[in-house]
Amino acid sequence: MNIMRINIGTGLLLTIICFISACGGSGSSGFDSRAAAEQDAIFMATENKECVSFENTLLCAAEVDTITTDIVGPSSAPPLSGVPISLRIEPASGKTVPCERTPGSTRCQMTVNVIANQLPDQSQLFITSKRKDSVLWDAPAPMPQISSSLPISESTLEVDLLRFMAQDQLQIAVLLYLPASNPPSIIERPFLSDFSPDVVYVSTDLTLHIIASP
């Protein structure tokens, strides 16, 4: 099991999102436009349970079961096309998620699972998350590697409750890096495409249900 500590709410609170074409003037920014576009892509993917392209990154809902993609390996090996990938992420969007809290602690722990039916060998998985209205995705943490003998990768997210209000919702993203792809830098980024993954699986609008550990 892999444990990742996250500080929900790090960074500035995004209070106004607008597209450049809608806002106009010197007050609009490319940053706001990108933030709105990413959230629109997440909404479209999770609402329709499909994959959408955002800034050359394939962004998929957690429930999407099978996709096909291309793998570009080292120069000595020819690229592979139409490679099937079959993953499922739990929890899916809109769920209420148990988060276990030790008495006296200001943190709780929740579980994220990746279940793989088909995945190229030597693929790498990383997990990142953020409060839905925050502008920064947390530094990604590696998930346990999946293999044919162990098709489930489980990670525990530790949520700082001092930074998470009862009405806040959580977004989780699992970053998939196919063989020969470079893993991400372990730093916060404002957008999922900044991590340069091959595929991203997203769950959004997650509500935490705090439970006391025995």
* Residues of the chain where predicted confidence (pLDDT) is lower than 70: 1-28, 69-82, 166
Buried b (16+ CB within 10 A) or exposed e, 84-112: ebebbbbbbbeeebebbbeeeeebbbbeb
pTM (predicted TM-score): 0.78
Whole-angstrom Cα distance, residue 142 to residue 59?
19
Residue 183 gets which letter from DSSP? P
- Whole-number pLDDT of residue 17: 31
Helix (H, G, I), strand (E, B) or coil at 143: coil
Looking at the domain that runs over 2-12+28-212, which CATH code has it been given?
2.60.40.2550
How open is the CA angle 93-9-91, to the nearest 5 degrees?
A: 20
- Encode pLDDT of 153-172 as tens digits: 998 888 888 877 767 899 99
Whole-angstrom Cα distance, residue 78 to residue 91?
36
- Whole-number pLDDT of residue 69: 63
**Cis before 91 (ω within 30):** yes
Whole-angstrom Cα distance, residue 30 to residue 24?
11
- Encode pLDDT of 181-206 as tens digits: 888 888 888 999 999 998 999 999 99
- Whole-number pLDDT of residue 26: 40
